[in-house]
Structure 1
Amino acid sequence: MAIMCLSTVVRGAELELSTPVAITTCGQSPGALMVKLIFNRANLENYHDDLLTAEYLKEQAAQGQGFKTLVITTGTSMKGMGAAGTDINVEIARIGKLIGEAKEQGMTVIGAHIEGMGRRVDHTDALSIETVCNQADVLMVIDDSDSDGYFTELAAKMEIPLLKAPQALNFAELLKELFTN
């Protein structure tokens, strides 16, 4: 399947996504805040927490306020992790539990890389990307993040949809089309 929308392409299986959406980061880079802004621009219900936990997902589900989709941005910020009092190993452990709980609840997991090649420069970036994207149901990337075809190849290998746009804000219109409330 291929859908064109403001130069944004979706490739892969039929895709229908639902709100509400939980948004977090693996690596404490500012990408999660950017994703929140994209969802706000698309008028889609979302909750953003850079330190989101599996326990919080459980609590929300128990209260009948569970999420349908989990978006996790990848790429690391040493400054961000330091400010959050965490490191890449703690982040990977948190995200592993989070994805496990999300899948147990039947949520769709979107692995996002929307900050470009600048968040693909070192070992911690690679760990963040591998941890999230190898367990994702959908990948969401900007053109610059995939300039070497890495995410295109990964999505093809995993046989999952790839959402791709020239710039992060280009996703807003596409998300309006893909998400049901």
Structure 2
Amino acid sequence: MIIPRPENIGHDILYYDGSNPHELAELKGRVRFLNKLWLPCALELLSPEQIFVTNRFRESVISTDTQFLHASFMRSCFIQILNELEKPEVIEIGCGKFPLATNSSFGSYLGLEIDSEAVDFCTKKGFDVILCSAGKIKDVALEIKYDFCVGLYSFHFDVSEEVIDFVHRHLKDSGCVMFNVIVDDSEQLAKKF
């Protein structure tokens, strides 16, 4: 019997879809992500290049893999809330190639994204998305304040003090933040917010 081996899909991110993954020496000490990827370190320690590799993988399986049904449900919940409002002004952190503005009619929309391929994709589709490299969100200065700041499946990497400061600077006084934050430690979540 041939046992499938993990495949390096780029920047030390391993893909493995076989059985008994914990028996393979190549996967020891790695972090499982999206069920089939094995990362060399914790999510918040990934380099931008490693994040891009995980993004390309997710994009390739998002419409066929049942693990993304929850993400689709959360996305529809966010869109439904925003569509109930009269032309809200929305900023989305980490929009990727799937900006919420695709399914909504906002008064204004701005996406922030660290992945240049996703920025190019969204720009070609007519969305206002700017490249904001990791750690540089503190340098983003916007002319208007927004009703909503949204982050959907982008903060499993890191919610830094810079992100929190950015949100405070660019939300209206009556503004609202809608993030879904995936953490195992509720104390960690309380510290972030």
Relative to the length of structure 1, the TM-score reads 0.34
Higher relative contact order (CA 8 A, sep 6+): 1
Structure number with bigger Rg:
2
